[in-house]
Amino acid sequence: MFGATSRETSISVVIGTGNGGGIILDGSVVKGKNGFGGELGHVLIPYQSIVGTIGINPQCNCGRVGDLESLCSLTAIEKNILPYFLPKYPGHELSKVDLHTAAKLVRGMADKGDGLCKDVFRVQAHALGLFFDEMINTFDPDALIVGGGALETRKEFQSWFMAEIRKGMPKQREEQAGIPIYVMPNGDTAGARGAAIEALKVAREGGLA
Ligand SMILES: [Zn+2]
């Protein structure tokens, strides 16, 4: 899988308050001219194609509408996704607390099977699927890596989330359909490039499969 030559290409996304992660291209961390290379959170995704989100208006702090971070972060849950889904679940217990508090409760409740909270993470997974599809078409990577957020749950929920990422991806070319998506251990080691480097290191040691 990952050879000793260390020339792999990987894309990693860490879901936290915002998005960490980064791009390793042929073994080198992508930094870019201005240092913003691999700032993946503000890449726009075609969120309108996510099933079950008609009329959602995902605003990011950066001013963009519909970038990865506007759907795939804790901030996104509070500002965009919960306000969208709560009215569809009248009387839901999360409507009884403020959004900031509610957002932090979503993961634990989703892990226990709550419908609204699973809807929230289904949107995140499908957003990631669309994003990874963009990365596959841009970089043809060896691996995709995701950590934080919904991945810091029990194994069963993690597996459900990973399967939903695949469901959210448009159909892939036969050659690329098998590009693996790994769960990053210790997803909270955020920091844009730190996480990417950590992920690759772990992948090299064979700890990700
Ligand atoms: Zn943004």
- Ligand 1 center from residue 91 Cα (angstroms): 31
Tens digit of each residue's pLDDT (9 = 90 or more) over 72-92: 999 999 999 999 999 999 999
- Ligand 1 center from residue 99 Cα (angstroms): 20
- Ligand 1 center from residue 41 Cα (angstroms): 6
pLDDT of the residue at 5? 55
Q: What is the pLDDT along the chain (209 residues), one digit of tens a residue?
A: 444 456 899 999 999 999 998 999 999 999 999 999 999 999 999 999 999 999 999 999 999 999 999 999 999 999 999 999 999 999 999 999 999 999 999 999 999 999 999 999 999 999 999 999 999 999 999 999 999 999 999 999 999 999 999 999 999 999 999 999 999 876 444 444 555 566 666 655 654 44
- Residues less than 5 Å from ion ligand 1, measured at CB: 42, 60, 62, 64, 67, 69
> Cα separation of 90 and 79, whole Å?
18
- Ligand 1 center from residue 16 Cα (angstroms): 14
- Ligand 1 center from residue 8 Cα (angstroms): 27
pLDDT of the residue at 192? 43
pLDDT of the residue at 184? 85
Give me the domains of the chain, ranges plus CATH numbers.
10-204 (3.30.420.40)
- Ligand 1 center from residue 155 Cα (angstroms): 30
pLDDT of the residue at 56? 96
- Ligand 1 center from residue 43 Cα (angstroms): 7
- Ligand 1 center from residue 70 Cα (angstroms): 6
Tens digit of each residue's pLDDT (9 = 90 or more) over 16-32: 999 998 999 999 999 99
Scored b (16 or more CB within 10 A) or e, 151-161 reads bbbeeebeebb
Q: Could you tell me the two tokens for 112?
A: 């226990």
Concatenated DSSP letters of 18-42: SEEEEEEETTEE---TTS-TT-GGG
Q: Nearest Cα to 98, choosing from 79, 71, 84, 85?
A: 79
The predicted model scores a pTM of 0.88
Contact yes or no for 151/187 (Cβ under 8 A): yes
